[in-house]
Amino acid sequence: MSANELRQADKTHLWHPFTQMRDWCAVGHDPLVLVEGRGSMLVDAAGREYLDGNSSIWTNIHGHSHPHIVQAIQKQAAKLAHSSFLGLTNEPAIRLAEKLVALFPLGTLSRVFYSDDGSTAIEVALKMAVQFHQLTGHPERCHFAAFEHAYHGDSSGAASLGGIAAFNDRFASLSFPVVRVADLTELEALEPRTVQSLAGIVIEPLMQGAGGMRTWPTGLLRDLRDWCDRNNVFLILDEVMTGFGRTGKMFACQQEDVIPDFLALAKGLSGGTMPLAATLTTERVFAAFLGDYAEMKTLFYGHSYCGNPLGCAAALASLEVFAAERTLENLQPKIQQMRVLLDELGGETHVGAVRQCGFMAGIDVARADGSPYPWQEETGARICLAARRHGLLTRPIRDTLVLMPPLCFDSGQLADAVGALRTAIREICGEN
Ligand SMILES: *Cc1c(COP(=O)(O)O)cnc(C)c1O
């Protein structure tokens, strides 16, 4: 099929996520058809190359079509692409669990539950937390606290935790009630009765993503861990975005020496190649579920593709690349370079606040006087469309531009990406 035939068939049959489909299907809109990925670049049907400025919605780690990961997937596909994880097991899933657990101090996070995406990684943590409290004599601990602007996924349970009104308000009738807090001060001010009803508190450590690339104050995570310990509330860390090097360490929680009770991993787990998620937890949680079958302590939860050998093989290969290419070590100067480049970009008339955490950044665009553009004007989206013409693909959160490159970006690509954003901002917002 030609690119035009593909576009036509897409507009006839598909429904894209988070997309106003009337705009998508409009006559003037030519969707970008991607055909190839090479390292930091994506290639469209016309052969044009683009920098992958948001790591293909925060998933890609080592670049596209990394030969080591491709080979691991090919080898595994030729051997065993999938078998059930209900009552059966497989080698890549076992080896990956060993490797994931070994990334944390001995005897801390020791158990791995696999699923398919970030939302399911959160769902299972919620169910484990509630069931744990039931099994240990605290059925009243059946609620969760979460933060304003939080994003933990789109399935109904994960979405209940979300603090973004535009995504959630419409489905309030499907949501379970959540104790919503803005910060630690509000958490500490909760009534004892409310605290005693909590099974856990969920947070995106260091930086909230979909809520607008918002950074948390340094030390908050450590304080939250202490609060959880004092109050017998589980700390559930959602590292679906921050995991696998984005903050400059393998996991955000390592920046503050915090070990959660549950850790949700997805997006970058497979290096950005296959849908795969893991929920890690402690032996203490695990042990509470053990007993005679008739005691009904079993966790009745699972998905068809749990422990998928292809995804696990890709994840193992991605971890091998981290070691072989010294990814985290090589990332440090790039994080510094990003800081310098963003400092300069911050001087632009139409750039407001810029927030960076490791190799991730949110760049607010605003009017010259600092006031926001009306969100209906889709300024951020128009800037990103303009940036595309200058060789950069990314997607905004309203009027916050997101820069979250694969960790393999080189310094020239980083400079080009920020340059494309600068040009695009000037084109859309004017130079002064
Ligand atoms: C993307 C994301 C999720 C949801 O993951 P999916 O794979 O899209 O279900 C959850 N939490 C955070 C922090 C995310 O960025």
Tell me, using a 6 A CB cutoff, whether residue 238 lines ligand 1: yes
Q: Tell me which of 124, 151, 247 to substitute to probe ligand 1's pocket, judged by most ligand atoms within 8 Å of the beta carbon.
A: 151
pLDDT at 432 > cutoff 80: no
DSSP E strands, 117-270: 143-147, 178-181, 198-203, 207-208, 214-215, 234-238, 262-265
Pair 57, 268: CB distance under 8 Å: no
pLDDT of residue 315: 99
Could you identify the atom of ligand 1 that is nearest to the CA of residue 208? 13
Could you identify the atom of ligand 1 that is nearest to the CA of residue 275? 7
Tell me, using a 6 A CB cutoff, whether residue 364 lines ligand 1: no
Tell me, using a 6 A CB cutoff, whether residue 236 lines ligand 1: no
Residue 190 burial class via C-beta count within 10 angstroms: exposed 0-12, middle 13-18, buried 19 and up: middle
Q: What is the pLDDT of residues 11-68, one digit of tens each?
A: 999 999 999 999 999 999 999 999 999 999 999 999 999 999 999 999 999 999 999 9
Rounded mean pLDDT, 137-141: 98
Is the pTM above the cut of 0.95? Answer: yes
**C-alpha 260 to ligand 1 mean position (Å):** 18
Could you identify the atom of ligand 1 that is nearest to the CA of residue 155? 9
E strand or H helix that includes residue 131: helix 118-135
Tell me, using a 6 A CB cutoff, whether residue 153 lines ligand 1: yes
| Residue 131 binned pLDDT confidence (cut-offs 50, 70, 90) | very high
Calpha distance 359→245 (Å, rounded)? 8
pLDDT at 148 > cutoff 90: yes
Which of the 8 DSSP states describes residue 257? T
**C-alpha 210 to ligand 1 mean position (Å):** 9
Q: Which amino acid is at 1?
A: M
Rounded mean pLDDT, 248-263: 98
Tell me, using a 6 A CB cutoff, whether residue 266 lines ligand 1: yes
Tell me, using a 6 A CB cutoff, whether residue 117 lines ligand 1: yes
Rounded mean pLDDT, 408-421: 98
Q: Which amino acid is at 302?
A: G
pLDDT at 431 > cutoff 90: no
Question: What is the average pLDDT value for the chain, to the nearest integer?
Answer: 97
Q: What is the pLDDT of residues 270-285, one digit of tens each?
A: 999 999 999 999 999 9
Q: Which of 70, 408, 65, 92 is nearest to 244 (CA)?
A: 408
Burial string for 337-350 (b: 16+ CB within 10 Å, else e) reads bbeebbeebeebeb
pLDDT at 180 > cutoff 80: yes
DSSP E strands, 56-133: 109-115
**C-alpha 202 to ligand 1 mean position (Å):** 13
**C-alpha 241 to ligand 1 mean position (Å):** 7
Calpha distance 110→105 (Å, rounded)? 9
| Residue 114 binned pLDDT confidence (cut-offs 50, 70, 90) | very high
Q: What is the pLDDT of residues 208-239, one digit of tens each?
A: 999 999 999 999 999 999 999 999 999 999 99
Q: What is the pLDDT of residues 307-363, one digit of tens each?
A: 999 999 999 999 999 999 999 999 999 999 999 999 999 999 999 999 999 999 999
pLDDT at 105 > cutoff 90: yes
pLDDT of residue 337: 98
Burial string for 280-312 (b: 16+ CB within 10 Å, else e) reads bbbeebeebeeeeeeeeeeeeebbebbbbbbbb
DSSP assignments along 390-421, one per residue: TTEE---BTTEEEE---TT--HHHHHHHHHHH
